Structure 1
Amino acid sequence: MNPTRRTVLLAAGAAGAAALVPAQPAGAAPRQAAAAPPPYAAYWYPDSLPAGTPGTGITWRSLKSWTAEDDTDLAFNAASVPLAPRFTPTPANATARADQARIQSLVSFGPTSANPSQGSATADHYAFTHWAYVDELVFWGGSSGEGLILAPNAPVVDAAHRHGVPVLGNIFLPPVAYGGQLRWTRDLVQQDTSGHYPLAAQLVRVAAAYGFDGWFVNAETGGGNSALGTAMLGFLTELKALAAARGQRVTWYDAMTVNGAVSWQGALNAQNQAFFQSADDMFVDFRWSVASLASSGQRAEQLGRSRYALWAGVDVEANGSNRSVNWDAIVPRDKPHVVSLGLYRPEWTRNHLPAGGRGPAAFHAADDRFWTGRSGDPSRPDGTDPWRAPAVSVADRSTVTALPFASVFNTGHGLRWYEDGTVTSDTPWNHLGLQDRLPSRQWAVHTTGTRPAVAFDFTDAWHGGSSVLVSGTLDAPAVLDLYATRLPLSDTTVVELTHRTDTGTVTVELAVATADPDTPGTTPPYTYLPLEAGAGGGWRTSVVALGGLSGTVHAVGVRLTATGGPVAWRLGGIAVRDEPRTPAAPTGLRITAAAGGDLRLAWDTRPDDVRHHTLHRVLPDGTRRFLGATCQSAYFVGGLAPQDGERTARFELRAVGELYTASAPAVVTHTW
């Protein structure tokens, strides 16, 4: 990509602790020599390593020499959630289209090196929630001083897969201005004696072992010749064939041309057509014009390919939703979309906030503005908004298709950790792998009166770190769309809502639709089912039987009617189920490495009915303190110390099912 348009991380950032506990306090006994290091996301050079010595916190590795058997962090980094199928309901508004432009998102979730495998002890994180509009996520990063090939860490892949979004690792061969060396390009495309490309096979093995979906190939190191261009084309062709055999994808970036030179075209043309034909998609560089995108779409169709296999790059790293874009060149309102949309660095929504103002609420407000638009409601977009948010042009998708289904509206970060409405850790945290399947329409409200404010709220929660807060005057009944679904109904199907009224008085009804609306942007044909009246201001769980309905649930929401004063009402959880299920306790819990207060734990692979595992420490007074959770079968905790003179620390691991029911604990102890 154009060097003037990017920020490249040339040095490692500071590592965050992977557990949700504070660092070791001042004055604590010194730790033993490190034998239980924290795990980090993996990164490599193709083969040969740079000259000299890596910087602090950086490990130089060769992809060619990687094996799964020798990868000591693989259990922490391998994703566990399969890619979910998804469907497209009737669009939320009249301008969103279901079968045209798609969206690719290129995101740097952290530095190349020292990027924690399983979250860290801060809420300041790009906890993306608008997956419903994204078709492909690229785990962006790489630098000449750290490594060039990045495998996505498990939390990102697990969250994306829950929402049906494939995730690609990144191969970044940097421009010479950023330390790129042509030998690394030659390393990548080297051939063996049989004419095959060994690193193509290695890349496919890595993606399979780590559980992600393929590779984004970005060759930007200049100085090549036609022989190198031919070798790159052969490499890409073999990578695509091997990837397709494993259900993986390959996207090519418009930089290197067929003659081996780097010359960004801003179009699909004769200079890069062969690469496009050897890949699933191509990211078209930012130099595009109205004419070049039009001709690119036509050329793709002449080749027998979809024009929407081209992602027109829009660089939002610097200005985000304040950027001026010629949207009609990509996604015009009044005629078919021209090509698809590639968003480069939309984590601007977090990064542009001041260092002291990156709390979860501020981040989600900016992210909603970016993805939903100025109206804050995808069912009623603001036609005068100069930023054409994705929700205006692209129909949302959903993966809620099977029972049991539950959500506690956990966004994957928070200021505290809650269990059953009680704080069990007051340490800020992030871990995207714990994110729920979230509402695809954030936030569609149907009312004839004043629209209430709706947002994820982090000041209180039923479980995890967040709840949904609805607040306002509610001068008319308001219907909040929660989930588009395809859930089968039976005589025993029930819906459970865990909710609380903080201010005012409000009547709450469950909204259930067994069909989609006929017209985009209209309210689903809901049936409204009353919740039993409750007393007091605490959390309560209301159970509503759906035995009177038949067929398939297409949408679930709530209708709120104020009966006194302004309202603040929060939703902490929803579950749709037939019979309740509780998973079995984990087996094989063990400590695999220990150094002072740093521990690596492992247990047997999780069964299919387990959503994630939670780890608690039992203190000498019997109090259970939440340490962390993961979807993997290994976990790292750091910075622990004896409490109140204890000689042995006790840890409890529980399996948590899709309905958030927890198993009996497995127990392991550690002697100080």
Structure 2
Amino acid sequence: MNPTRRTVLLAGAAAALSPSLPAAAAPKPETATLQPYAAYWYPDSLPSGTPDTGVTWRSLKSWRPADDPDLAFNAATVPLAPRFTPTPANTTARTHQARVQSLVSFGPTSGNPSQGSATADYYALTHWAYIDELVFWGGSSGEGLILAPNAPVVDAAHRHGVPVLGNIFLPPVAYGGQLRWTRDLVQKDAHGRHPLAARLVAVAEAYGFDGWFVNAETGGGDASLGADMLGFMRELRALARGRGQRVTWYDSMTVQGTVSWQGALNAQNEAFFQAADDMFVDFRWTAGSLSASGQRAEQLGRSRYALWAGVDVEANGWNSAVNWDAIVPRDRPHVVSVGFYRPEWTRNHLPADERAPEDFHAADDRFWTGRSLDPSRPDGTDGWRAPAVSVADRSTVTSVPFASVFNTGHGLRWYEDGEVTSDAPWNHLGLQDRLPSRRWAVHTDGQRPCVNFDFADAWRGGSSVLVEGELDEPVIVDVYATRLPVGVDTVVELTCRTDAGRVNAELAVATAEPRGPGATPPYTYLPVNSVNSWQTSTVRLTGLTGTVHAIGVRLTAPPDGGPVRWRLGGLAVRTASRTPAAPSGLRVTAASGGDLRFAWNPAPGDVRHYTLHRLLPDGTRRFLGGTCQRAYFVAGQEPEQGERAARFELRAVGELYTTSAPATVTHRW
């Protein structure tokens, strides 16, 4: 582990291992007493003294789901989607080799809202296509050591086929770590079992996430503690496997019970690797140690790609000095997988006044796609070897109906059918769509236009796709890699708008894979309308059979067309339109002034999410929020125009963004 990273890690442990979030991202408990937060615990015994304001000390050993008042707000509901690997977007990205693990702190350990917050300034991760495992990073000695991911993160990740792990962080002694917490974690009962192993598996099951990342960095242990930790890991993994969960080990504690970061798979940590599904290799690795580690894993009958080589990007992002050839060489098989530590740098390094959503996504695209901002055209001179250069993207778009309004999970306002129904900024990753996996692959013989998520206007949600530039030749934009069956009734709906210039738009549909990596899919082009207002065109796939492998758009401007601004607001593939059934039993379960907790009975059948509106005295509806859960919290409601009671409406939203009839409730002031 290099000294800079060690300094950063330890300092982070003292400060809850969290990015600097704006106040709006973490409302203070004393001003929002009903606000639910992501859960965190100590293994068993609590610190001495009293917690800081806004911090709640909890014991995991004492946790029971029936006694958890915030469980309904924190339990993810989206199942982990299967995904496939299409033909790579370029000739350098590999399949079935290196994978990517991402260790992300989405918010502080304490005071991290369960269901989003009233700011667009948020790490709204969208490049799930390159990630194989997400770790919900955090924990501190003064707040709690065991973190359950909040539901929006899990729901968004699961839509894209990415498992999410909670974090167990036992910090160094110098920064508040106490060896008794390690002993608490690995304690045994009278039958020789590890009760907290079972409790951890129960938490993951109740909260709907996929397992645990175990990082034991508290020094002072001995061989006896090392043996207890190994027994704990073996039991945790056995129980986790029985529930479809995973366990990852961090290269820190050795089999002797001491903390000594190896930067390799060797005799000091091999037993822990064997007791886990995979291992994060600490940052002190070298090319030689990774090569030897990969060989050692294979000698054990394990995949070398079950080792994540730590790449610390917290301080410098894409400017970090990384020996990429030691991990993902261009001229031979990949050595091991990549473990990114704190890629939310793409948000955190931006000045506070330059964190508009478009600023964040520009930086995040640069990190994951590379300097070219086009995975089909990697920049060979770029010193940052972005994941898109080495790792093939994956997609979960495999069944009909499928729809997307290109919602990234945050925005400056909320749109419904092109109209603003809330002008308040927001974030909630659980509302994020299944997003295009390769952003943005553009095929043209002419000038490449800019393609980005845009937040100045949207059809639904908070964002749309904007294509902007001089179209001197036809331009094809790959939108989705898919595996969608084509039937006699299959149609594609495209919602788009031309903001500037003149452009002929066509739907591009491919029923076969490209001839090879980096090639344009063999599209068939079907006309659609594009006018200067939002319009939905319904296109029948007449003459096409089999399976849709790719969906895109082709844009052509007349020779004298000038600059073009063209916006894509929605895409749907369906055979029939379905309206979901309405939820029932909408009720206010708790109120404190204008802060309200809602709960309801779920609608039968398939529901994508729920939306909550307030019906105002003038008959208009104001969007208050949406969630995939069966409970929701809103803050700061006030009487409107002298009203004595507020009226609220809840609707179920289907996969095609059709909405149910409302369930209603009235709350008297």
Q: TM-score, with normalisation over the residues of structure 1?
A: 0.96
Q: Distance in 2 between matches of 1:112 and 1:296?
A: 33
2:24 touches 2:119 (CA, 8 Å); kept in 1? no
Deviations 1:67-123 (A, max 9, x none): 000000000000010000000000000000011000000000000000000000000
What residue number does 2:105 align with?
A: 108
Q: Aligned to 1:410, which of 407, 412, 417?
A: 407
Contact 2:505 2:556 in 1 (8 A): yes
Q: How does 1:578-657 map to 2 (within 5 A)?
A: 578-657=575-654
CA distance in 1, matches of 2:653, 2:13: 37
CA apart distance, 1:388 = 0.2
Distance across 2 between alignment mates of 1:393 and 1:518: 20
Q: Is the 8 A contact 2:74 2:150 kept in 1?
A: yes
The question of whether the paired residues in 2 share the 8 Å contact of 1:150 and 1:171 is answered with yes
Q: CA–CA distance in 1 between the matches of 2:32 and 2:410?
A: 29
Deviation at 1:548, TM superposition (A): 1.6
Q: Deviations over 1:558-580 (max 9, x none)?
A: 00001211100010000000000
Provide, for residues 421-472 of structure 1, a one-character-per-residue CA deviation record: whole Å limited to 9, x for no partner.
0011010000000000000001000000000000000011110000000001
Q: Does 1:64 align with 2:67?
A: no
Distance 1:294 1:511, change over 3 A: same
Pairwise CA distance, 1:3:
3.0
Contact kept, 8 Å, 1:16 with 1:116, in 2: the verdict is: no
In structure 2, how many angstroms separate the alpha carbons of the residues matched to 1:567 and 1:18? 36
| Paired-residue identity, % | 78
Aligned to 1:477: 474
What are the equivalent positions in structure 2 for 1:124-143 lying under 5 Å apart?
Answer: 124-143=121-140
Any conservation in 2 of the 1:88–1:395 contact (CA below 8 Å)? yes
Shift of 1:604: 1.0
1:98-177 equivalent positions in 2, closer than 5 A: 98-177=95-174
Per the alignment, residue 395 of structure 1 pairs with 392
- Matching residue's letter, 1:4: T
Q: Which residue of 2 aligns with 1:543?
A: 538
In structure 1, C-alpha distance between the alignment counterparts of 2:215 and 2:276, rounded to whole Å: 12
1:663 aligns with 2:622: no
Residues 171-570 of structure 1 aligned to structure 2 (within 5 Å): 171-532=168-529, 534-535=530-531, 537-563=532-558, 564-570=561-567
- Within 5 Å, give how 1:40-119 maps onto structure 2: 40-119=37-116
Higher relative contact order by CA 8 Å / sep ≥ 6: 1 or 2? 1
Q: Secondary structure at the match of 1:69?
A: helix
- State the AA in 2 paired with 1:544: V
Relative to 1, partners in 2 of residues 1:15 and 1:197: Cα closer, same or farther, differing over 3 Å? farther
Amino acid paired to 1:45: Y
| Count of aligned residue pairs for this structure pair | 660
Aligned mates of 2:39, 2:334 — CA distance in 1:
37
Tell whether the 8 Å contact from 2:580 to 2:605 is kept in structure 1 after alignment: no
Distance 1:475 1:178 in 2: 60
CA distance in 2 between partners of 1:136 and 1:559 (Å):
34
Q: Could you say what the CA RMSD is over the residues aligned between the two structures, in angstroms? A: 1.6
- Aligned counterparts of 2:153 and 2:552: Cα–Cα separation in 1: 27
Q: Name the CA distance, whole Å, in 2 between partners of 1:618 and 1:337.
A: 57
Whole-Å separation in 1 of the counterparts to 2:201 and 2:495: 43
Q: Give the distance between the partners of 2:525 and 2:321, measured in 1 at CA.
A: 43
Q: How far, CA to CA, are the matches of 1:322 and 1:125 in structure 2? A: 22
What is the distance in 1 between the residues matched to 2:253 and 2:97?
A: 27
Query: Is the 1:514–1:555 Cα contact (8 Å) retained in structure 2?
Result: yes
Give 1:547 deviation, angstroms: 2.8
C-alpha change, 1:303 and 1:606, in structure 2 (3 Å) is farther
Question: Runs (4+) of structure 1 moved beyond 3 Å?
Answer: 9-19, 33-36
The CA distance in 1 between the partners of 2:181 and 2:429, in whole Å, is 32
In the aligned structure 2, how far is the partner of 1:285 from the partner of 1:388?
Answer: 20
Per-residue deviation, residues 211-269 of structure 1 (Å, max 9, x unmatched): 00000000000000000000000000000000000000000000000000000000000
Q: Partners in 1 of 2:441 and 2:575 — Cα distance? A: 28
For 2:259, the aligned partner's letter is V
Rounded Cα–Cα distance in structure 1 between residues aligned with 2:24 and 2:115? 9
- 1:450 and 1:475 in contact (8 A); partners too: yes
Contact conserved, 2:13 with 2:175, CA < 8 A, in 1?
A: no
Q: Deviations over 1:362-390 (max 9, x none)?
A: 00000000000000000010001000000
Separation in structure 2 between the aligned mates of residue 494 and residue 427 of structure 1, nearest angstrom = 35
In the TM superposition, residue 271 of structure 1 has moved relative to its aligned partner by: 0.2
User: How far is 1:11 from its partner?
Assistant: 5.3
Alignment partners' CA distance in 2, 1:182 and 1:117:
30
1:8 is displaced (CA, Å) by: 1.6
Report the more deviating stretch, 367-376 or 614-623. Answer: 614-623
Aligned to 2:7: 4
Amino acid in the other structure paired with 1:8: G
| Structure 2 gaps, min length 5 | none
CA distance in structure 2 between the aligned counterparts of 1:137 and 1:623, rounded to whole angstroms = 40
C-alpha displacement of 1:605? 2.9
SS of corresponding position for 2:591: strand
What runs of 5+ residues in structure 1 fail to find an aligned partner?
A: 25-30
- Determine helix, strand or coil for the equivalent of 2:648: strand
Q: Tell me if structure 2 keeps the 8 A contact 1:121–1:430.
A: yes
